[in-house]
């Protein structure tokens, strides 16, 4: 409905579609959380749908989905699930980042998986590469470049390790691209510069990029065996270099962004982590260009 039509409906006492809200068409799955989303006001739909596009199920689930509501209340936007408030923000430009963070936290709190890692992840030929790193380390930008080269997205910020074998389970929201990387990725994804701009609560301005390829099994319980862990170290200038890391050093780095799920972290989980990382190749990649990153990480999936 056009703004003028909405105004006429408001004056006539008939609520407009935007005022009443809409239920997004998709059935979604995030880890083991099946949900549908009702949005009010409905004019937020076009901003939200690209974020959730990779989570859409091909068919409705066999179990009843959880109904989640996003509503404008008293000058704020409030997200509730089964009547429980799970997130809120003050500005419409903050809604999409808030929705992503809140849905992820809600799903992780109800997960019985082994743990979550602050990492991007891509896959090809049945192999998964983890790219752990702190916020601002370039995980999302690297993941987007790798997707543009034909790899499949498992996640750009968070990946979950399943309890059985510590395979990687996908958390494939649309890729969050910070302002500093917009022009860097525009040559690979021209549509990126046409996407709306959103404000995160940390002050970052971001756009979301729905990937052309999401890993098979991303919307199921299936996990991908992790064949390599690559810690990114981007520096201007110099020759790209992929260096092997000893397991103990790799574990120390990984634990900085590891969050145990279910029953927390105990001696048994630490032992399982040690065993897992001992049989998984770990590297540090020093690089200056995205092309170098794509070449070296892509070779690990060849």
Selection from 272, 54, 290 nearest residue 185 by Cα = 290
Question: What ranges do the domains of the chain cover?
Answer: 3-109, 115-172+211-300
Q: Band of the pLDDT at 26, cuts 50, 70, 90?
A: confident
Selection from 54, 291, 288, 299 nearest residue 188 by Cα = 291
Q: What is the pLDDT of residue 11?
A: 36
**pTM reported for the whole predicted model:** 0.88
Q: Using alpha carbons, list the distances in angstroms from residue 270 to 108, 109, 264.
A: 19, 20, 11
Question: Residue 130: pLDDT above 90?
Answer: yes
| Residue count (the chain) | 302
Half-sphere exposure of 67 (CA within 13 A, CB side): 8
Q: Band of the pLDDT at 10, cuts 50, 70, 90?
A: very low
**Contact (CB, 8 A) for 224 and 128:** yes
Question: Residue 16: pLDDT above 60?
Answer: no
**Contact (CB, 8 A) for 262 and 111:** yes
What's the CATH class of domain 115-172+211-300? Answer: alpha beta
Q: Distance from first CA to last CA of the chain, Å, rounded?
A: 49
Selection from 203, 198, 216 nearest residue 99 by Cα = 198
Q: Which is more confident, 235 or 145? A: 145
The predicted-structure confidence for 59-101, as pLDDT tens digits, reads as follows 888 899 999 999 998 889 999 998 899 999 999 999 999 999 9
Q: What is the pLDDT of residue 238?
A: 82
Rounded to 10 degrees, what is the CA torsion of 277, 279, 250, 119?
Answer: -60
Residues facing 118 on adjacent strands: 158
**Whole-number mean pLDDT of the chain?**
88
CB atoms near residue 204 (< 10 Å): 15
Q: Which string of b and e fits 99-111 if b means at least 16 CB within 10 Å?
A: bbbbbbebbbeeb
What is the separation of C-alpha 9 from the centre of its chain, rounded to a whole number of angstroms?
38
The predicted-structure confidence for 279-289, as pLDDT tens digits, reads as follows 999 999 999 99
The predicted-structure confidence for 105-123, as pLDDT tens digits, reads as follows 999 999 999 999 999 999 9
Q: Strand runs (DSSP E) across 162-234, as ranges?
A: 168-169, 175-178, 198-199, 205-209, 226-234
């Amino acid at each position: 409905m056009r703004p003028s039509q909405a105004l006429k409906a408001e004056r006539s006492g008939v609520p407009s579609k935007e005022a009443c809200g809409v239920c997004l068409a998709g059935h979604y799955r995030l880890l083991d959380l099946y949900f549908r989303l009702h949005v009010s006001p409905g004019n937020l739909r076009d901003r939200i749908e690209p974020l959730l596009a990779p989570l859409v199920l091909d068919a409705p689930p066999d179990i009843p989905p959880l109904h989640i509501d996003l509503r404008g209340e008293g000058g704020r936007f409030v997200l509730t699930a089964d009547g429980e408030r799970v997130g809120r923000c003050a500005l419409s430009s903050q809604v999409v980042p808030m929705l992503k963070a809140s849905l992820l936290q809600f799903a992780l709190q109800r997960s019985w998986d082994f743990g979550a890692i602050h990492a991007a992840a891509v896959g090809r030929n049945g192999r998964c590469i983890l790219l752990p790193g702190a916020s601002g380390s370039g995980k999302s930008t690297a993941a987007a470049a790798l997707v543009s080269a034909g790899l499949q997205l498992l996640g750009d910020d968070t990946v979950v390790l399943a309890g059985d074998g510590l395979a990687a389970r996908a958390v494939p929201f649309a890729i969050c691209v910070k302002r500093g990387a917009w022009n860097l990725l525009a040559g690979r994804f021209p549509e990126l510069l046409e996407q709306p701009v959103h404000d995160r609560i940390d002050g970052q301005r971001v756009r979301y990029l729905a990937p052309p390829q999401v890993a098979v099994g991303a919307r199921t319980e299936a996990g991908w065996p992790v064949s390599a862990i690559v810690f990114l170290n981007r520096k201007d200038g110099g020759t790209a270099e992929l260096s092997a890391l000893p397991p103990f050093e790799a574990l120390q780095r990984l634990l900085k962004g590891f969050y145990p799920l279910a029953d927390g972290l105990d001696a048994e989980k630490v032992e399982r982590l040690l065993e897992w990382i001992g049989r998984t190749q770990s590297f540090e990649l020093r690089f200056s260009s995205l092309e170098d990153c794509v070449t070296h990480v892509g070779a690990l999936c060849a």
